[in-house]
Amino acid sequence: MQTARQIERDGYYQESAPLQQTSTRYPVQRCLAATRTAAAEVVIVENADYGRMLFLDHELQSASYDEAIYHETLVHPIMHAMYGRDDKNVLVVGGAEGATVREVLKWGPNKVRHVDWVDIDGELVTLCRRHLRYAPEAVYERGYVTYYNQDIMTFLDTAERSARYDVIVIDLPDPDPNEQVLYGPAFWRLIHQSLRQGGGIVSHVGPVEPRRRPGLEIVQQGAGGGGHAYHTHIPSFQGEWGFWMNREPAFGRLFQLEGCSVMDNSYLRTVFHWDRHWLGL
């Protein structure tokens, strides 16, 4: 892999997402990290347009310029739908940047009793904490957040996780039809086994285009069908990004939550609207 010095000398970093047909070259002002963890090749750079950018195995994961769009859109619709349930136990799967946990904690201790955060790549979590700084240090130090440096399948496959969680937020790599473990039958069996009755599940589904939503199909079918898909535009991803949750969006309840830069009542309704061309092209 390229070193930080090589990336800075070249003046750009080339993204090559395996599930997309296009490749993007991002100008680089500075390379903050270029290393290989036990799980992935990690590159963190600074870009004039998008700020600090995280790449895993040459694929863009997030950028400081617009990460709030992704993370608020992932977390808040399901938390809002589950508003009536207090003292929730929440499971965050993945989300090494810490921003997914950050958004969950915005709901406060009355709505969130405890967060279990599971990410297999502890080195990546440390790199993100040091270089990206999406989440304030308080997120990592909250007494009711427990981080587990484990594989999610191993973590969930214990009796003590059975029917434990009120909300499960899945922030893993894009669903891949060639991946047999993540998003596979055993994965979803453990997810549903760990969910309390009437609990909420949400996952991102990767890029979506009119009549082309393979990630959504993988998640929706794997999770047992039904549910509600939604989407939003993320500039640094240069396209539309999809999400899916198993609960009905709570449009009848006014969305009010301090600290959000993207999510409000109007935006909540907008992301669940699919214009006609999404089905007609």
Angle, nearest 10°, between helix axes 185-194 and 214-222?
60
**171 belongs to the catalytic site:** yes
Supply φ then ψ for residue 179, to 5 degrees: -85, 125
Read off the pLDDT of residues 132-154 as tens digits, 9 standing for 90 and up.
999 999 999 989 999 999 999 99
Quickly name the fold that domain 67-280 has. Rossmann fold (3.40.50)
Query: Domain map of the chain by residue range?
Result: 4-63, 67-280
H-state helical runs in 58-184: 67-81, 99-105, 108-111, 122-127, 137-141, 152-156
**pLDDT, position 102:** 98
Q: What percent of the chain has pLDDT over 90?
A: 84
Read off the pLDDT of residues 250-264 as tens digits, 9 standing for 90 and up.
999 999 999 999 999
Catalytic residue, candidates 171, 176, 264, 275: 171
Per-residue confidence band for 186, with pLDDT thresholds at 50, 70 and 90: very high
How far from the centroid of its chain's Cα atoms is residue 109's Cα?
22
Count of CB atoms within 10 A of residue 49's CB?
Answer: 11
Pair of tokens at residue 127: 């790199």
Q: Which helix (H) or strand (E) holds 214?
A: helix 214-222
H-state helical runs in 11-66: none
> Residue 137 burial by CB count (10 A; 0-12/13-18/19+): exposed, middle or buried?
exposed
Pair of tokens at residue 47: 């870009």
Pair of tokens at residue 116: 């279990």
Residue 167 has pLDDT above 70, yes or no: yes
Query: Taking the CA of residue 81 as centre, how many other CA atoms within 13 Å lie in the half-sphere pointing to its CB?
Result: 24
Dist. CA 209–CA 251, nearest whole Å: 25
| Identity of the amino acid at 168 | I
Dist. CA 16–CA 25, nearest whole Å: 9
**pLDDT, position 161:** 80
Which of the pair, 66 or 157, is modelled with greater confidence? 66
Nearest to 31 by CA among 58, 9, 49: 9
Pair of tokens at residue 213: 């939503």
State whether residue 263 is helix, strand or coil. Answer: coil
Read off the pLDDT of residues 79-137 as tens digits, 9 standing for 90 and up.
999 999 999 999 999 999 999 999 999 999 999 999 999 999 999 999 999 999 999 99
CATH 2.30.140.10 fits 4-63, yes or no: yes
Using CA atoms of 38, 177, 156, 138 in order, give the dihedral in degrees to the nearest 10. 60
Supply φ then ψ for residue 2, to 5 degrees: -70, 145
Dist. CA 273–CA 232, nearest whole Å: 10
Dist. CA 184–CA 192, nearest whole Å: 13
